[in-house]
Chain A
Amino acid sequence: MSVVISIAQVLVAIGAALCVLRLVRGPSLADRVLALDTLLVTIVVEVALEAARDDDGRNLDLLLAVALVAFIGTISVGRFIERRGAR
């Protein structure tokens, strides 16, 4: 079972690397915000897989915290972009 979850974790890690690449390349601010949002949710998935692999719920509080930060961050930067422009 842990082998299957490790394979899944590698897949998710590749997805996270793609998010980081988009975060670096931009080009617009909305692209970067979208990449950061996706990256944070990817971290949520990674932590959930880790907890499932070890049957250890100590890190599961991270899920709610990181998901909330991603949501609030996306919304606040979205409002900011709307006022200032997407450069």
Chain B
Amino acid sequence: MRVVVDVASGALMLLGAGFVLLAGAGLHRFDDVFSRIHAATKAVTFGVLLVAAGGALQLTTAADVVRLVLAAGLQLVSSPVGSHILARAAYHSGTELSPATRIDQLADPDDTIDGPLDAG
């Protein structure tokens, strides 16, 4: 039984650490603030959740498990809000989009003459 718990929590923690590493890689892989926000916040939140789950299996004190779960819950709630505010601020302050951007639904309609979105 102990072995099963150890293998499960080790796998969870390794997977979570891998996601945090992917978030760091995503900060360099993408060429745009907005796609970097997309890469970093989601991967890091998932990594925190996985590591908290794996760590909760290892800890033996109930109070420690509660604090770990609280931290994971706080991250789950705060990360979308923070990244949304950051992305909105970056857009409204005129950060340039990546050249690969196809759809910009926040753009002024007069500017998008050849936009790919044709709702008509």
Give me the interface of A with B, judged by CB distance under 8 Å: 1, 4-5, 7-9, 11-12, 14-19, 21-22, 28, 30-31, 33-35, 37-38, 41-42, 44-45, 48-49, 51-53, 55, 57, 60-61, 63-64, 67-68, 70-71, 74-75, 77-82, 84-86
Closest 3 CB pairs of A and B: A18-B24, A57-B64, A15-B24
A-B contact pairs, 6 of them (CB 8 A): A7-B14, A18-B28, A22-B27, A52-B9, A71-B74, A81-B86
The number of chain B residues with a CB under 8 A from chain A is 55
Chain A nearest CB from B120 CB (Å) reads 33
A12 to chain B, nearest CB (A): 5
- Residues in B lying within 8 Å of A, measured CB to CB: 6, 9-10, 13-14, 16-18, 20-25, 27-28, 33, 36-37, 40-41, 44-45, 47-48, 51-52, 54-55, 58-61, 63-64, 67-68, 70-71, 74-75, 78-79, 81-83, 85-86, 88-90, 92-95
